[in-house]
Structure 1
Amino acid sequence: MKYALLLVAVLSSPAFADRQTFPPADQANRDPSLVAFRETLLSYVSARDVDAVVATACPDIYLSHGGSGGPAELRANLTLDPETLSEEDQGKADELRAQYWADLEYTLAQPGYFDEEGEFWMPHQWQITLPASLDPQLAFFVTGTDVALRQGPDRTALTLGLISHEVVIIREFQNDTEYQRVLLTDGTQGYMHRDYLWPMTGYRAAFSKSDAGDWQLCTFVSGD
């Protein structure tokens, strides 16, 4: 079951909704076979074993909103041939490849939940349904417990409050800025460290069972 975020005109109105928290709760232990599969897959990812990771994928694994999907695309993403990149990005191939592996490993290690079809999704906050009026590109999830909301963009700035597992709004995310200006759903504003902010359009992954009853990696995608 998905959880709806109650948010009222957060970007333009002085009237705001109550704040909601969504503490992490991993449902994987409901199925020991899933726990074993995830542990094995994470060991393959940690070892950067391309063949082993690809072998766990669904025949139609979903990897991008515009790509063809499938194990071949997963292999291409994991190996990332510089020749497939634009000329200006070819020198970044090693960095991009390493980041893809890191994103996969980090996402698979997150607490997750079972949806109504029996698929297992990670991270757990993907079950939050954002209001249709909210641009999902502006929504971020606070991944930590008691994360400082500060008055200014500095770790020495006054702490306005401690935030745990909430959705916050960032109108303009600054890629090169450590502290981001955030808006809570009750209208409170402040700054939070970027390490605790996961975009709601960020990576998510899903496991599904094959017809033979074996778990497979069937989704690893980011974006709206």
Structure 2
Amino acid sequence: MKLGLICALLLGATPALAGRQSFPPRDEALRDPSLVAFRDAMRAAVARRDTEALTAAACPDLMLSDDGIGGPEELRQFLTSEQGEPAADVEARWQALARTLAAPGYFDDDGEFWMPFHWRIHLPARIEPAWSYFTNGENVNLRAAPNREAPVVTRVSFEVVLAAEPTSENDYRAVILTDGTQGYLHRDYLVQMSGYRAAFAVSPDGTWQLCSFTSGR
């Protein structure tokens, strides 16, 4: 489908979108030294691929999927290879967890700590999360064509943008800014708004636990 037609469909479905808004990262974990220590330990466990350390820190009702068994055992299954499963698929899951725990996060109203921080952005109900991306960078070049030599249309900093084409393997994705500006952003700076997120929560005995790791909106 042509970029112009897709733009018309998306913008026509979202007439209230106007202007642009930036959401610079702010890591609220720094408010709680015990949380920072727990997060550091979880990041280190992921770096050394320590399944036992991660499952030991998981909530009994850990959420990974809607139809899974939940809890530490589902996390163990998620991070280990089933018979015949390509090792690359398991490694991709480890990398997704690593990226999520590396991101800055925020506290919700219940005191849980969520990562990445842009998960707190509430999209309008009429916006499809699967077609929405967060620009994870400052002054990222929005180009007029899908290559690094193309003229710069504008620069984008920590903004939500709409994909204007199906997922592709190209380095640049056609996107629409919330003010209707069209162009191409490098995929390295685009994080899907319906991607992975994780949550830490305090257990009844006062220790932090990993209580959610899931994707979707």
Q: Does 1:105 align with 2:98?
A: yes
Q: What do the CA deviations read for 1:32-86 (whole angstroms, capped 9, x no partner)?
A: 0000000011111100011111111000100013323111110001002134xxx
Summarize the Cα distance change of 1:183–1:51 in structure 2 as closer, same or farther, 3 Å threshold: same
Residues 10, 185 of structure 1: 8 Å contact kept: no
Secondary structure at the counterpart of residue 216 of structure 1: strand
Summarize the Cα distance change of 1:188–1:81 in structure 2 as closer, same or farther, 3 Å threshold: same
Could you tell me which amino acid in structure 1 is paired with residue 166 of structure 2?
Answer: F
Residue 39 of structure 1: aligned partner: 40
Residue 12 of structure 1: aligned partner: 12
Q: Which of 153, 164, 170 is residue 163 of structure 2 equivalent to?
A: 170
Relative to the length of structure 2, the TM-score reads 0.92
Relative to the length of structure 1, the TM-score reads 0.89
Counterparts of 1:71 and 1:14, CA distance in 2: 41
Residue 69 of structure 2: aligned partner: 68
Summarize the Cα distance change of 1:14–1:108 in structure 2 as closer, same or farther, 3 Å threshold: closer
Aligned-pair distance for 1:14?
Answer: 9.1
Could you tell me which amino acid in structure 1 is paired with residue 54 of structure 2?
Answer: V
Residue 141 of structure 1: aligned partner: 134
Aligned-pair distance for 1:13?
Answer: 6.2
Counterparts of 1:122 and 1:104, CA distance in 2: 10
Residue 119 of structure 2: aligned partner: 126
Aligned-pair distance for 1:136?
Answer: 1.1
Structure 2: stretches of 5+ with no match in the other structure:
1-8
Alpha-carbon RMSD across the aligned residues, in angstroms, is 1.5
Counterparts of 1:130 and 1:208, CA distance in 2: 24
Structure 1: stretches of 5+ with no match in the other structure:
1-8, 84-89
Counterparts of 2:23 and 2:177, CA distance in 1: 14
Could you tell me which amino acid in structure 2 is paired with residue 162 of structure 1?
Answer: R
Counterparts of 1:82 and 1:125, CA distance in 2: 36
